[in-house]
Structures are given as C-alpha cells and as structure tokens.
Structure 1
Amino acid sequence: MRIICSLLLLGLLASCSPISRPALTKKFNGIEKDLKDHTGFILYDLDKKKNVFEYNSAKYFTPASNTKIFTMFASFKILGDSVPALRYVQNGDSLIFWGTGDPSLLYKNVFNNNRVYDFLRNAPVPLYYSSSNFHTSSLGDGWAWDDYNYYYSAERSPFPVYGNIFTVKLEGDSPRIYPPYFRKHYSRGEQKERNQFIREIHSNDFKFHPGLRRSSTREWDIPIRVDKDIIVTLLSDTLKRDVKPVSKLIPQNTKTLYSMPVDSLFRVLMQESDNFIAEQLLLMCADAVSDSLQPEIAIKYVKENFLKDLQDEPSWVDGSGLSRFNLFTPRSVVQMWQKLYEMVPRERLFPLLAIGGKKGTVKNYYKGDPPYLFGKTGSLSNNHCLSGFLITKSGKTLIFSFMSNNFVAPTSSVRNNMQEILKMIHERY
C-alpha cells in the first residue's frame, strides 16, 4: 500500500507548482481507493483570496477535534480577553456565587493564578453556591457512553474543580490519590490483563484491578461523577471552610470575577486538544449571552450572528468534537480559519495552535525549520482530520482542510499521506 501511495505522490511532486488540478484529483482518487476511506481536501491562497484546489470540499465529514476551531472562534467573539470565573452577589451576611463554566480552578493542565481560590478563601462572610444556571447534561449528545472512565471524557459542570478529574499514581502496588478526598472511594478489585482503575458509572467509587502483565502506565486521570453536592464538598475541603449549597436563581445584579487571560485556555485547547476545556468554553459563551449554561444556546447564537455566510451550514452539537453528530465540510472549516485570521493578529493566533515539529499534537510530524504548519488535528476511531495554515517556501500563506473518514487502515497510514502531500505543497507551491 505504501509503495502505491509513494508512486502517486511522486506524480504529485511534479504537478504542484503550479498546482495541476487534474493531476491532484487523480492522486486523491488513488489514495482514496487505496485506503478505502472518504477524503476531503481544500487549499485556499490568502494572497489570491481564492481556493486553488478542492476535492470533495462540499461533502460533510466527521470533524472530531476540528470542532474546537469553531469553539475557539465562538470564544474569541464572545468572551473577550479574560475568562469569567464566577458571578456573585454579596449581602451583609453572605456571599452567593454561581459558576460560569470556567475550567481553570485547580486544573493541573492550565496555568492558575489562584485568583478565584484566594477570593473564596478570604471572603469575610459565609459562602453559598448555587447551580441553578446549569441546564445541560454532564455528557454530550453523541458521546460514547463507555468512555466515561477516561480523562478525555470529563463531565461538563457549572463550577469545575480540579478539571473534574482525580489523579491516581501507582507506587508499587499502593495508589496515591489526589485530591485526597477520593481515598474513601477506593477499593481493590479482581485481577485483569493489565493494571486498571475503573470508576463506577453512577458514583465516584472506583477499584484498582492489578494486571497480570507489567505495565509502564503509572498514572491515571479519572473523571469525577459531578453533582452540586460533590462541588460544595470539594470546595469546602480545598478552601478549608464551609461552602453550602443553595437553590437560588441568578439575579440581574451579579458582579463578575475574572480568573486569567483567555489565551491560557486557548493554548491548551488547540495544542493539547483538551476536550474538557472545549466543553467548558462553550458553556462560558452561553453564560455570556444568556442566563443559562447550555451549549445549544451558544451554538445557536454564533451560527445566527457570525456564521450565516458559511457556504455549508455546520451540524455543530458540542465544543470538543467528541460527538459523532458533528458534521462539517472542508470548505466550511477553511472559512472558519479565514475568519480567525482576519479577526486575530497572526502573531497572537499562530502561537496558540499546534505547530508542526514543535508543539502539541503535531510535535512529531510536519517538521520544518522554520515550522511551516500551524493548525489543529482531529481524531476519533476511523477518522482523522487536519486543518490550519501552511507556509510555503516561496513565502505564501495557505489555508487548508484535510479530512479523512471511515478508514480501516492504521491512522498512521492516513497521517503519512497527509504529511507527504502537505510537505510537497510547502516545497513546491
């Protein structure tokens, strides 16, 4: 299979400068036939302000984490430069607060300036927490239900703590659990093929199953089963002071506490493809345009106010791309990158993205000196996508979207074809 693809790509090499549409189409037909997948591709020249090549660019594909491009765009449009952490009212004898969805409090994957922690820890009056503005399910539509035990499927919530995960480190046969609150939920289970920590689906009870085989994995991040009681319990335990739940609708006269620059979230979102941050950003957008933390509100608002000019209306249902209900076309993805490029200065935008050979999910691929690829990957089982900006040796900046769905070949085969094609365009366009 690799020999066939290499021969096709040799032909591509000869036809990329200038791009020969018939030759490129033939190469994509051959690769699609060889991999038995569905492939879409589009290449847009920023200088010429036009598409220079398209292959199935108007077909719909499962975007996986390319959905995060839409989420970042929404967040740039709605949130501004700072992350709203909580909304609060302070009466004479109490401080009542509501979450905005900010994922950063004590989340190890994000820089934390402790502003929210210090604000709550040092409040001079009793603390009361209300979750009355949260109106969505913990897991998204179209998510795989049996992924609940994996870190990439952390639950959505109005006021996350610790990124809605707890961490278990195995030292010998003894687990070290953080935060310590979850020690009481631990027990030991039967032996399995490999070391596993498995949480009960409807509670935070979890078991360690020692493995028959040695495993290099020594650390696990396990999603917390979230409700308002666990939120106030964790806050009380962490702040070393009582936080009590209260059922109170959010009033119009709340004040807002901000936690950090929004770029601190975007960098982890785009480089590490953090699903949890993506989902929480969409909740924050909903909070900003309504009084409800509900992703559908944010999606509807963005589509109606900013995306009516897309050539193909996206089927957009979550922030992260975990849902297989998401469907985008390659040309809509390129249009989204165009919007971001026009809205955000290049010197701010590019460092937030995965950088070929340098940072994020493309650190080991698309290598160049200097880097020539800045973008976002997206992967689910049998689906792999890549889109973003391609800098050519001639100095041009191109936008591309490469989407491959429904393949049964190894993802590495799909990625290798993407890498070779994009590198050739980089060298020859």
Structure 2
Amino acid sequence: MLDLNKLAGQIPGISTHLTEVAAASRIRLERAQEFLEEAYQQQAELVQKQEQWQHRICFSAAVPIEPLDTRIYVQTPPAQHTVIATDGSQMAPNHHEIAYCYLINMGLVMLHYGQSLHPVLDSVPEVFYKSEDLYVSREWGIKTEEWMGYRRTVSEVLLLAEAATTWANTANVKLPIFDSAENATPSTTNEQSNHPKSKIQNLKSPVPMLAMTDGPLIYWFLDKLPSDARDRILPPILEAWDTMRDSKVPLMGYVSASRSFEALNFLRLQACPHDVPDCTTHCNGESEKAPCHVFDPLRDTSVWASQLQPGQRGPLWRSELRILDWYEQHRIYFCYVHVGSEIARIEVPGWVAEDEEMFEEALGLMLGQVQKGYGYPVALAEAHNQAVVRGGDRARFFALLEQQMIKAGLRNVGTSYKETRKRGSIA
C-alpha cells in the first residue's frame, strides 16, 4: 500500500528539479533554432559532408529529402475512405499459475467512412504452450517475456497486411468482412471465407486506404538480437510489407511522444566547429564530449513544436540507422506533423514516401483519424481496446483452462500456494 503522507515530502524536490530542467531545455532549444536557420542556406553542403564522412561520424543523423524550411499543410481527407489498424497485448507466462503458457491477443479495426458499411471491431487470440514456443529464445539468451513481445510485433503486422490486402484486392467484388457481432452470419454464400464471424458486403468503388500501426516501423530491438533470432522476426514482417506495397495500400507508423533525435543530429553537422566532421580524429569518437553535443537531451519534437502550425508537416527525412540495412528495399522515411494535440512522428516505408500522391493522401487520412479521436488516431485507440487483456479476461481464461485440464484427467490442478496467498490479505 502506498503511503501518500510519506511520499508528499519528496514531491517539492521533483518540482524543483523539473523547473531547472525546463530552463536548461529552453536554452538548448534556442541554440537548435539558430543552427536550423543557418542550415537552411547550407543544406546541400551539409548533406554532402554527411555522405562523404559518414564512416567517420560517431552519431546517426537522418538525411533531409526536402528543404529544411518545408512547411506544408496536410490535405483534408476525402469523404470516402477506409482506415485499418491493428494492435496487440500479451499475457506473460507465470510458473505459479495452473499452466505455464502465454497468450497474445490481436485487435483489428477497420473503419469505413462515407460508404454505408459497418465498422470491423474484432480480436484474434492465440495461446502458446509448446516447448518450442516457450523455450526457443533461451538458446539466444533472450527471456521468454521479451521474445513474446517480438512475436507480438510480427503478429500485428501479419494481421494488418492480411486485412488490408484482402480488402484492397477485392474492392470491386463481394468479399468477407470480419464482424464482431456474436450472431453474425453470411448474407450470401461465399466459399472463400472460413472466418466464423463473416458477413458479405459489397464495396461499390475503390476508395483511399490507410494501414496504421501504433509505434515506429523502425524496430529498435533488432539491433541487439542474434542473427538467427532476427531471421525469425524480420523476414515475415518484410514479406507482409511486400504484399501491402503490391496492393498499393500505404503503411504508416504513428509515433506519439517520440524521443528520437535523428533530425537534430543532422544539425550537429552545422554545429561542428571543424571544416571536416571527423569525430574519430577531432573528438576521439566520444560523442558526448564533442562541441556539437549542445542539444542533448533535446528531442526532435521540441524543435518542430516551435516551427510548425497545427495541421502542418515538416520536411521528409530518410533514416540512416544501421539496422535499416536489413530492411532491404523498405528503408524508412519520416516526417513530423503538428496534429493539434502534439508533434507526431510519422514513419513510412520508402515505397510510400516515393509516391508523393500516396504519401500526402495517407497523411490526410492520418490527420482525420487524430481529429476524430480527439488527439489520437481513433482506429489505433479502438484497436488497443480490442486487444487489451484485462484482469477479468485473465481470470476467465485460466478458469476455462482449469476446466479443460480436469476433464482431461489431470490432478492437482491449481495455482501455487504463493500465488493463492498473494491474492488475499489479512489487512
């Protein structure tokens, strides 16, 4: 139990510290704005320096694809469009439960606007209990809980690609649409649909689409994975992206409260006092002690919050992170958009960024989702609500599992004494 009376004495210290941090951040922000204005006129020279000395620079800086002073208002979404989103949650394994297993629950949302079609609100649970699922990651020194999160990422992308491409590729014919209603039955016969909750609806004409994920498309965890483990995670994701590219469905990662500083790192080239940005020679490869290290811990969003008006986007950037070398043709581009409630980082694969019409249209659909969701994309919020496993869901799952184990003839089924005792209290 948390004693608020004892905690109250520590709160003033936190407030004082945050005040000091805010004052220091304002100074860093002013410096960053000065370097940004100087870089407007020297962008081409800075990009050339980055390309020439990239192997001698000890930090990763994104490359601006558009002029740094780009400020474009995001277009209004069309009346008719479709947005698809997935999200996932997980239930970690526990040795004190009646069975050692874990569960991944995927939420799927498909919202149709201006088409007189019902929305899709569905969830797809999957239980993992076999030894190859529970212990395979240990050969790479990865905890089961971590591996479960990586598996969930793959499942999110696969479900998103399947739903998006199925809808896009059959846009002019009768097709199955997942429906969350318990008593849903097909209105016409369709042998191609095996989903237990399918309805047949007819899309009269193709409409703009957007497939959204919650979080970045740059999977930072890949950098620390052994190659064998990475080969089980990344290839299925890239294959799913291939299907969306072939179906011309734009993919977008929406990053709220981004902590990235890739764009600010580009300004470090402007802040470098040396004619040649050779970190290895001039600064002994110690980035934190370098003269250009004047922005930390400032983030990209802090700078663009001072540059963008609500509804505007900044320049497009190409990420140069090393892990993207494994992405093959799907190198990630990003931009920052003032969505009204915050500065959101928007990530897209190269095949979306290189198609100007698709990219701008996708941004418009995204901004429409934020406005409909009162500050956060409504499709992502609803996908999360479909995916989340609450305490009551967990209890019902283990109750169902216990019944099945008893029916199978297993004895001594139950939680450990430790878990049983922790669920009660003498207080």
The normalised TM-score by structure 2 is 0.26
Higher helix share: 2
Q: TM-score under structure 1 normalisation?
A: 0.26
* Structure having the larger proportion of residues in strand: 1
